[in-house]
Structure 1
């Protein structure tokens, strides 16, 4: 490949996944999902940092799915990565979130790092089987990053730092105050246990309890040049990180809905008899129950078809590398927003209404059917879905697109 073509492509990702690749990673994800499903409810109740689950992801090879094969990575495409998130979310949405965020966080090597430094970051990631956590919450502008010699000093805190409790690498976003880079967004990578970094084990929420999304506090943290991944720009290619994370969300919600339906089906088939006013002999034969599942299954199937299409669109856009335009990026963002709108609402609704078919006995704590709803309800509040609907509607009516941010 010529140097000019390589520079245009910008990354090791090219083309789209074929059937063999998707099948390979689906099988791996399904094996991991079986292990996770065996004690998902018990682990959720304990709410401990997911060190064991992280090792499972590392040993399976899933953490390196997107890394270049020539350096020892999985050589996979984004379509496969999104599909893996979806498969895991059927069994354990917390760990699916952890892995999905890792994919996006580590992808900043391609989106942000200078070309000459990318291979070094990739080699360390692959050889160490790193999981990349993050501390980037844009609505917590509570970090102070000031120049200090050749590097910086970092103070403050960030909430909702997914993967920070277990990841080998912690991606941190902070705006520089002072010096030649004043006002620019810096992407920092700190190793687990870096001096001055305090991991606060305070993630005790309704759902996604094992996503390690705790608070991180920074106490006069030295940030050397070796910890600086790169600086933010207004380049359309670099900003693909936001459609990427929102696509993780769409596939996460779809997987949760599929998991709720699968468990609901098992419970419904196991129910004896039927409601005393029904003409059917069993609940599975009751037309009202069948109609309910018909509606829910059809909605989930429609979301799946949209997700598959948008997942592939992401790979096709990535393939354009530095040739990606603002219009390309905007078109992709609208597709992703469409998926976010329908997948979010569908997951919450399906995980709620499936109880209508499974009955009051399915609300028992030991059944754990509520886990799907708790996970969907918690993560779907990440950023208001109404703004995604507004984004889609405004574009449809006026052609307007949202300004680029870490949420749009």
Structure 2
């Protein structure tokens, strides 16, 4: 029972085996590890329950980590994307639903940095730090059910959006609305979440990522001030990095689930799994077939991790260039496509195959091992992986990298 107790009460030791999954977040290490342990402590039970994780969102707010992506000139922590992604990955190993909300907060910050004017950045991001805002979104680009209509002195929003991760319980929303015939022609805008006419629904009911609050938001004659429209970014290669930031967030969530599944399964195998009769060994850990399976899963994880880390470094280099060229932006998108596909495939395989190593007893609901596969399965469907693979193949044959779109 030692392994079970440790799994359910991770505050007794580091979240993950430091030999396999070392963590170093510099001066933020203790904050991140403390938050991860707190989230992990109730993750299994909350996954079963679903719904809105109000208390855990407050833990994230109290951690002071919501300003990671906000530049120091606005009193934020001003961390790089590789640093932010490592933290997201670690939190995803604890609870990938809450890591999703945490990461999408930074995606909305990135949107303001890419599309907002200098004054809009100063206004929204300084206020974000001062008031410890949690950002949510209503920006699903494929969902054209929301219309932005011009009035004499302002705009109005009417309609609805789906897949609005983090909107429920947010302080402010990053919203997108179509501005043309194509889904890629859209404008971003910022709104206080308490604006009259907004109805944020608690209607998310997927079998994985159970507490991401990714339900619907309805808009009825919602007032939008002209200054709330983010129109400075245009359609430049640099402004289109928002998609790249988003795609690498998904990648970290996959890898975090893979880490947690491997870590938990290895503990279980060492401490609770029983050797199969006829295997010729005394313990499951000594079984050559189980050793081989874990070796194969580890190689899948390591390969995907290296691709993800390389893509994050290249994204940071692109992020730091005010006049980013289309060719370099395309190269970054290609690296991110490789990382996302490899990470999703690795995570789906790992979160499923660990059961072959642990055995039937590990399917008991008290362990919660199934949640890792469910989380990855749901989130890997965000946009089709086949299209990423096609982008890679097209580049191999033509030398042409992916064209900026809603998902590439």
Q: Same fold (TM over 0.5)?
A: yes
CA–CA distance in structure 1, aligned partners of residues 113 and 187 of structure 2: 15
Which residue does the alignment assign to 2:173? Answer: 170
Return 352-361 or 187-196, whichever deviates more: 187-196
In structure 1, the residue matched to 2:130 is: 127
Pairwise mapping of residues 9-408 of structure 1 onto structure 2 (< 5 A)?
Answer: 22-176=25-179, 185-230=186-231, 233-271=234-272, 273-321=274-322, 323-408=323-408
Gaps of 5+ in 1: 1-19
CA contact (8 A) 2:273 2:359 kept: no
TM-score (norm 2): 0.90
- Tell me the distance in 2 between the aligned counterparts of 1:268 and 1:305: 26
In 2: Cα distance, 1:314 partner to 1:39 partner:
34
> Could you tell me how far apart the structure 2 residues matched to 1:21 and 1:115 are?
33
How many residues are paired up? 384
Task: Kindly provide the CA deviation profile for residues 178-215 of structure 1, in whole angstroms up to 9, marking residues without a partner as x.
Answer: 9xxxx952211111221111111110111001111111
Q: Structure 1: how far apart are the matches of 2:68 and 2:151?
A: 37
Q: Deviations over 1:306-356 (max 9, x none)?
A: 2121111111111112x2000110000000000011001111110000000
Q: Match for residue 8 of structure 2?
A: none
Cα 1:205–1:155 change in 2 (3 A) is same
Contact 1:147/1:177 (<8 A) preserved: no
Change (3 A) 1:403 1:71: closer
State the shift of 1:122 in Å: 1.5
Moved more, 66-75 or 312-321: 66-75
Q: 124-133 vs 25-34, which deviates more? A: 25-34
Distance 1:348 1:24 in 2: 33
Computed over aligned residues only, the root mean square deviation of the Cα atoms, in angstroms, reads 1.8
1:349-394 deviation per Cα after TM superposition (whole angstroms, max 9, x unaligned): 1000000011111111111000101100010000011110111111
* Structure 1 residue 176, shift from structure 2 partner: 3.7
Q: Distance in 2 between matches of 1:345 and 1:27?
A: 31
Question: Normalised by the size of structure 1, how large is the TM-score?
Answer: 0.90
Q: CA deviation at 1:216?
A: 0.6
1:108-147: CA deviation from partner (whole Å, max 9, x where unpaired): 1210011233211211111111111111112211111110
Retained in 2: the 8 A contact 1:25–1:80? no
Deviation for aligned residue 1:28: 2.6
For structure 2, the residue ranges without an aligned partner over 5 or more in a row are: 1-22
> Residues 256 and 273 of structure 1: is their aligned pair in 2 closer, same or farther, counting only changes over 3 Å?
closer
Distance in structure 1 (CA, Å) of the matches to 2:307 and 2:274 = 38
Q: Is the 8 A contact 1:175 1:185 kept in 2?
A: yes
SS in 2 for 1:161: coil
Q: 1:87 to 1:218 in 2, by over 3 A?
A: same
- Cα deviations by residue, 1:147-190 (Å, 9 ceiling, x for unpaired): 01221111111110000002111111002479xxxx95221111
Contact 1:145 1:177 in 2 (8 A): no
My pick for the range that moved more, 254-263 or 52-61, is 52-61
